[in-house]
Amino acid sequence: MTLFDETLGLLRILVRNACVNDLTPDSGGEVRNADALEDFFAAEIAAGRDSGAVTVQRLEPRPGRTSIIITVRGHDPDADPLTFLGHTDVVPVDAEHWTRDPFGAVTEGTGEDARIYGRGTVDMLGLTAPMAAVTREVAREAVSGRPPRGTLTFVGVADEEARGGLGAKWLAREHPDALDWRNCVSETGGSHLPVSDGTDAVVVTVGEKGAAQRRLHVTAEPGHGSQPWGRELAVAKIAEVARRIVEFTPEVSRDPLWSGFVSAFRFSPEIEAALLTSPEEDDYRAFGELARYAHAVSHLTVAPTVLSAGGAINVLPSSAYLELDIRTLPGQTDDDVDAELRRALGDLADEVRFERLICEPAEVSPVDSALYRAIGETVGEFFPDAAVVPVLSAGGTDLRFARRLGGVGYGFALNTRSRSLADVNAQLHAHDEHLFLDDLRLTLEAYRSLVHRFVG
């Protein structure tokens, strides 16, 4: 059996275990995937136990929410380590909108069209499986007396889809020494940009936007629903708050990541200048299918997502609130966010109370680290003519915890030339989520190359 066959077999098991995280503490059941991964490494763990060449740890803050850590010890204590952070939970499915069994892990098609269907195949079991397979290959060498130069660690971590409270966040806080956080690789990266002149560019995710969730409260005069005349209505007030928030556009990013992303597309000087200074909504259409992503990584984004007011149909409520999913750019603080919200609300701002919910700063790793250079060299091995473009993720990953502990973290996989960043983004949390087998194979080979290049 080839390494690719082993990887595909593991991916099928991980998908079929259906470790669905619905954001409640007792969901997930990642213990099933932790068991599968321990079985996958069983021979290497047994062979390396006495020498310490290969070790396993299982940690869980709550029954069933298990993270597993496999460490292959390097022979040179001064060599750079490498850690694969792969999560084992997946988001829920709306089964009636799937045309295949979301947990069947069925493969269809042949040649370039061959693919595997299932929740998590793209986010991110299709990366976790090759991470584990490459680590096991190195572990086999280690127990045979040929350890890597630097230590290689694989982590199958729980609860990523709920921002890591029972997974990486908990590990970083309660067990920071359980793994090496200095050089980490996780999701996603490795897809291609549709450069205007037809040349190639491959993205590597170097950071992610922060979170600055808010609940905006308003109050008004209560009363009987039969007599609304002359009253200030809480529902009308919160509706006006929502309208002003939606119509407000913050200034475009001045961060080099945004300017570098724009430059990678090789637009005309006029379009590039507009996108970097004061873009209009229509200017983003230059990015095609990536317009929504481009807008997200170029601005502070504020999305109204939850609205609450009243409880009885015949009562005028005395209060209402609006919840906002806010994603910040590097360098933006909570005070900056509140100032922007006040600008959006204008003369209504003094009548609105801001409540801060989850707040985390944007996190970015440098592009001059040894690991980033190794990733760039790996991309060049497979796509010699491609530019390597560092990008910001609009969402969150477990890599932010590595960065907070002083490490660097990059989202890296590798996709075929025909797979754009828009194609990959379209599969995240989607109905009929699927991964092309050519991408699984290429990611596996890229991880093998990166490990050889970085830890020996």
The reported pLDDT for the residue numbered 339 is 98
Distances (CA, A) of 154 to 54, 138, 442: 11, 11, 19
* 3-state SS assignment for residue 76: coil
Residue 218, CA atoms < 13 Å, CB-side half-sphere: 27
pLDDT tens-digit readout, 208-228 = 999 999 999 999 999 999 999
pLDDT tens-digit readout, 288-328 = 999 999 999 999 999 999 999 999 999 999 999 999 999 99
Asked if residues 438 and 126 have their Cβ atoms less than 8 Å apart, the reply is: no
Whether 50 has a pLDDT exceeding 90, the answer reads: no
Instruction: Grade residue 397 by pLDDT with cuts at 50, 70 and 90.
Output: very high
Dist CA 243 CA 162 (whole Å)? 29
The reported pLDDT for the residue numbered 440 is 98
Segments of the chain assigned to CATH 3.30.70.360: 210-360
Structure tokens belonging to residue 129:
């499986």
Rg, the chain, Cα only? 24
Give the phi and the psi of residue 154 in degrees, each rounded to 5: -115, 130
CATH code given to domain 3-195+363-454? 3.40.630.10
Give helix then strand counts, H and E, for the chain: 14, 18
pLDDT tens-digit readout, 408-450 = 999 999 999 999 999 999 999 999 999 999 999 999 999 999 9
pLDDT tens-digit readout, 152-172 = 999 999 999 999 999 999 999
Segments of the chain assigned to CATH 3.40.630.10: 3-195+363-454
Asked if residues 171 and 157 have their Cβ atoms less than 8 Å apart, the reply is: yes
* 3-state SS assignment for residue 183: strand
Whether 173 has a pLDDT exceeding 90, the answer reads: yes
CATH architecture of 210-360: 2-Layer Sandwich (3.30)
- The amino acid sitting at 101 is D
Polymer length in residues for the chain:
456
Nearest to 131, CA basis, from 152, 160, 158, 105: 152
Asked if residues 85 and 164 have their Cβ atoms less than 8 Å apart, the reply is: no
Write out the DSSP string of 83-132.
EEEEE--B----GGG-SS-TTT--EE--GGG-EEESTTTTTTHHHHHHHH
